[in-house]
């Protein structure tokens, strides 16, 4: 019933079509990637970085670009680059505890007072070889935004160690809830991401088709149609990839060897 040993079908690696897959290089986001690099690069010279709010609608490459830059930052310098998703760690205490764990301290996830967590963070940041870059993804999901920003800025000042903050949000700057005190301390710049265009989606989908499908299984015209539909609707790359994944699974269930525009039309018209 659950035997996965068969190798027939059009799909060969669904992973490349899921939201958890991170490509080695972002596609169509060179300018945005360069701007994130500019913000954190001073950390590699032991200088103060720029704090940055990266914002835009879902599925437009924000997380992909930030994670790509942070991976390179840690690989190519002595800077510690830490990524935290605020959807999972959505309170002040849980986020600061996760930050401490990511820095190498074996802290229990519950039960420690915030003051003790901050004291340990101060100790660990002070001992770091270089600066520290922290990315807070899904920042708009964090319930204690003002307190966390204030904590991290005070932490950076108290140990005289440079700490850069990159916040990633689906909401724009006016919708991020910070009080005037924290906004002043943060001195945050912004970087907006626009929805993907049709041509950008074609390039992204074409690469993922090569990775996820058997060679020649998906006609180029199918990629172009999906890119056109999604670009006109939202420009959300996740939706386009999800549609490709559903299409591939549908084709496999129906024993198809390849997918053209006719098959795609059948897929879209199914009840």
Tens-place pLDDT, residues 221-237: 999 999 999 999 999 99
How far is C-alpha 222 from the geometric centre of its chain's CA atoms?
Answer: 27
Of 168, 192, 216, the one marking the end of a domain is 192
**Is residue 130 domain-shared with residue 219, that is, in the same domain?**
no
**Is residue 246 domain-shared with residue 166, that is, in the same domain?**
no
Please state, as a whole number, how many other Cβ atoms lie within 10 Å of the Cβ of residue 159: 18
Residue indicated by tokens 């914002």: 55
Question: Would you state the pLDDT for residue 183?
Answer: 61
19 belongs to a structural domain: no
Distance, in Å, from the CA atom of 56 to the CA atom of 169, rounded to the nearest integer, reads 7
Q: What CATH number corresponds to the domain at position 253?
A: 1.10.8.60
Of 177, 192, 207, the one marking the end of a domain is 192
Distance, in Å, from the CA atom of 160 to the CA atom of 154, rounded to the nearest integer, reads 10
Contact residues for 150 (Cβ-Cβ < 8 A; gap 6+): 181, 182, 185
Structural domain boundaries enclosing 172: 30-192
Is the pTM higher than 0.85?
Answer: yes
Sheet-wide strand order for 80-85: 80-85, 132-137, 163-169, 52-55, 189-192
Question: Would you state the pLDDT for residue 15?
Answer: 95
Over residues 109-147, the pLDDT tens digits come to 777 889 999 998 988 887 777 889 999 999 999 988 888
**Is residue 180 domain-shared with residue 68, that is, in the same domain?**
yes
Residue positions counted in the chain: 271
Whether the predicted pLDDT of 167 surpasses 70: yes
12 belongs to a structural domain: no
Over residues 22-70, the pLDDT tens digits come to 888 899 999 999 999 999 999 999 898 999 999 999 999 999 999 999 9
Of 192, 223, 247, the one marking the end of a domain is 192
Question: Would you state the pLDDT for residue 106?
Answer: 78
Domain count along the chain = 2
Residue 56 phi, psi dihedral angles, 5° rounding: 160, 170
**Is residue 166 domain-shared with residue 205, that is, in the same domain?**
no
């Amino acid at each position: 019933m659950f035997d996965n040993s068969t190798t027939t079908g059009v799909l060969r690696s669904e992973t490349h079509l899921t939201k958890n897959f991170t490509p080695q290089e972002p596609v169509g986001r060179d300018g945005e990637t360069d701007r994130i690099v500019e913000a954190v690069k001073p950390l590699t010279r032991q200088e103060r970085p720029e704090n940055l709010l990266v914002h835009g609608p879902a599925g437009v490459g924000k997380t992909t670009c930030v994670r790509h830059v942070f991976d390179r930052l840690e690989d190519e310098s002595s800077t510690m680059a830490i990524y935290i998703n605020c959807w999972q760690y959505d309170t002040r205490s849980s986020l600061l505890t996760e930050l401490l764990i990511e820095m190498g301290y074996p802290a229990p996830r519950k039960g420690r007072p915030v003051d003790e967590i901050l004291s340990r963070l101060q100790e660990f940041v002070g001992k770091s070889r270089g600066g520290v870059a922290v990315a807070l993804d899904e920042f708009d999901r964090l319930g204690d935004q003002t307190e966390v920003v204030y904590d991290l800025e005070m932490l950076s000042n108290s140990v005289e160690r440079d700490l850069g903050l990159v916040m990633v949000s689906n909401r724009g700057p006016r919708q991020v809830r910070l009080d005037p005190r924290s906004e002043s301390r943060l001195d945050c710049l912004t970087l907006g991401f626009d929805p993907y265009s049709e041509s950008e989606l074609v390039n992204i989908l074409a690469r993922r088709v090569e990775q996820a499908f058997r060679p020649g299984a998906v006609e180029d015209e199918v990629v172009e149609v999906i890119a056109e539909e999604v670009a006109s609707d939202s420009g959300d790359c996740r939706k386009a990839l999800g549609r490709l994944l559903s299409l591939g699974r549908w084709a496999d269930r129906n024993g198809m060897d390849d997918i053209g525009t006719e098959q795609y039309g059948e897929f879209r018209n199914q009840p």
